[in-house]
Amino acid sequence: MIYLIAGIGLLVLVPTVIFVFFRFFKRSPQWYYNRSLDYYSAGDSEKAIQALEKALEMDAEFINAYYNLGLIYQQEEQPTVAKEYFEKVLELRPDDLDARYNLALLYYEAGEYDKAESLLQATITDNPEDGDCYYTLGLVYEAQQEKERAAEAYVKAVEYDPSNVNAFLFLGKLQDQMLQLDEAIVSYKKALELDPNNLEANYDLSISLAKKGDWDGTIDYSRKAIDIDANYAKAYNQLGLAFYCKEQMEDAIEHYQKAIEIDPTYANAYNNLGYAYQKVSRYDDAIRMFESYLERSTDPEEATEIREHIELLKKKLLEN
């Protein structure tokens, strides 16, 4: 009797163990999805993709699997494939804000600006305080030469995300181009509050200050740019300009020469150095620099003026 009861117990136990095993260890779409996250965290994108594809074989409406495949292909710089997966997400869930944004970014990078704008505007309608969307919308408008609309979008971007350094930087560039110099200076300084070692912001600020005739400020921020990158030829050229305008010709010549030493193809530095040499009556050197400029210049109108200027300098040499 004892053995019979034991046998019956064993018969009951074995199916239970089998059920529990399959209940907890059967590979489901979620299991493959979770494995894909592990693979991706370990830097194995190929296995992550395979796991996500397996999840979709088992569940063709697994939205998160489509989304993550889109992200992986986007990061792997395969935009055409990434677009297809984000579009599938939106087919299944049209109000997915993240998929809309990433798809808009891909359209922007592909030059499909109308599609990018449409998706971004729809996302902003559903989430009016999305600073990233306004920032990308600014990029879209700027790519189409719509400077005022781009500036408005960047203003919104920094309103909702005051930590966006690039939004302040690009806003400053546009304001400078539109000769809104005071506003540009404020935008660049905001960028530098967030990132004091931003090379571009320091250099661009020096340009806006130069346009206002603030030569001391130009010198300060050009030097900060050089502190960040000692081989930044444009900053040396900018320093040369500031010293030239302060009538400090030796300092101007020194910094123009340094710009040329760093970048022998830098046409504007040759041109500027020519004028500095002319200012101190070094006409032979001035002519040599202007001729060097002509060898590198791509501006035909400017080249014509410089040729005429060289002829005037040659006459001065003959007179002397």
Mean pLDDT on 124-138: 96
Distances (CA, A) of 251 to 204, 239, 248, 288: 21, 9, 6, 19
* pLDDT number for residue 169: 98
Q: Residue 233 contacts by C-beta under 8 Å, 6 or more apart in sequence?
A: 258, 259, 260, 262, 263, 266, 269
CB 86 within 8 A of CB 106: yes
Q: What is the DSSP letter of 284?
A: H
* Residue 19, number of CB atoms within 10 A of its CB: 10
Q: From 93, 120, 88, 91, select the one nearest 104 (Cα to Cα).
A: 120
Q: Are 166 and 195 in contact (CB under 8 A)?
A: no
Residue 82 burial (CB count, 10 A): 22
Q: Is the pLDDT of residue 4 over 50?
A: no
Chain segment 212-226, per-residue pLDDT in tens: 999 999 999 999 999
Tell me what pLDDT residue 26 has: 66
Q: What sign does the dihedral 212-216-222-225 (CA atoms) show?
A: negative
Per-residue model confidence as pLDDT tens digits over 155-185: 999 999 999 999 999 999 999 999 999 999 9
Q: Which of residues 302 and 271 earns the better pLDDT score?
A: 271
175 membership: H or E segment, kind and range: helix 165-177
At residue 139 the predicted structure's pLDDT band, cuts being 50, 70 and 90, is: very high
**36 token code pair:** 């894909």
Confidence of residue 22 (pLDDT cuts 50, 70, 90): very low
> Phi/psi of residue 221, each to 5°?
-80, -25
Please determine, for residue 208, whether its predicted confidence score (pLDDT) is greater than 80: yes
